[in-house]
Amino acid sequence: MKKDDHYLLGSLLKTLGIKGEIVLKFNDDCPEEIQKLESIFIDVDNKLVPFFIEEIRIKSINTAIVKLEGLDDEIKSTEFLGSEFYIAHKRADQLNIESEEFIEVIGYQVYNQDNELIGEVTEFVDIPDNPLLSVKTDKNEILLPAKDELILEIDDEMSIIKLFVSEGLMDIN
């Protein structure tokens, strides 16, 4: 199955309990229609593998808890943490999930306005009116604001984000 035929919904964030439940983190707000899904596709070694949903319930605005068939304990579920999950574009349309093109920035290199490398994006934190980039530097992990007015340039081919970082911001992280 090709990723081009599927819509990236988010990633598998962490396990919950000992029965193999997994917290799904959505790239956008978790759509209520998600509870109608029968299956999702998980990216395993760059191939989409279908998993049937036994149970799914919304946890927060951008997370849900899912129990997948065949993942009956924490050890089995842990193997998939950090993986992305998808649904077919056709299914996204049926569920009225907006198929806006989402730019995945995890792994992008972040530079400041002086072209100095800050670090690598490990997570995009989608907080309404205050989006953040979690960036791993050579010393620690920091949060940087990712508002449109602070983004100077995004180069998808080179996986680079150039941000305006105000003086002192790096010191408080």
pLDDT, tens digit (0-9, with 9 covering 90-100), for 110-160? 999 999 999 999 988 877 678 888 899 998 989 999 888 888 998 888 999
Please state the domain extents for the chain.
3-94, 109-172
Residue 56 has what pLDDT? 92
The pTM assigned to this predicted structure is 0.55
CA distance 116 to 120: 12
Query: Three-state DSSP class for 3?
Result: helix
CA distance 88 to 61: 22
CB 165 within 8 A of CB 113: yes
Q: State pLDDT tens for residues 32-43.
A: 778 888 999 999
3-94 has CATH 3.40.190.10 classification:
no
- Which ranges of the chain does DSSP label H, i.e. alpha helix? 74-78, 89-94, 169-172
CA distance 120 to 65: 28
CATH: 1.20.810.10, 3.30.70.100, 2.60.40.420, 2.30.30.240. Which one for 109-172? 2.30.30.240
Rounded to an integer, the average pLDDT of 49-75 is 90
Rounded to an integer, the average pLDDT of 54-69 is 89
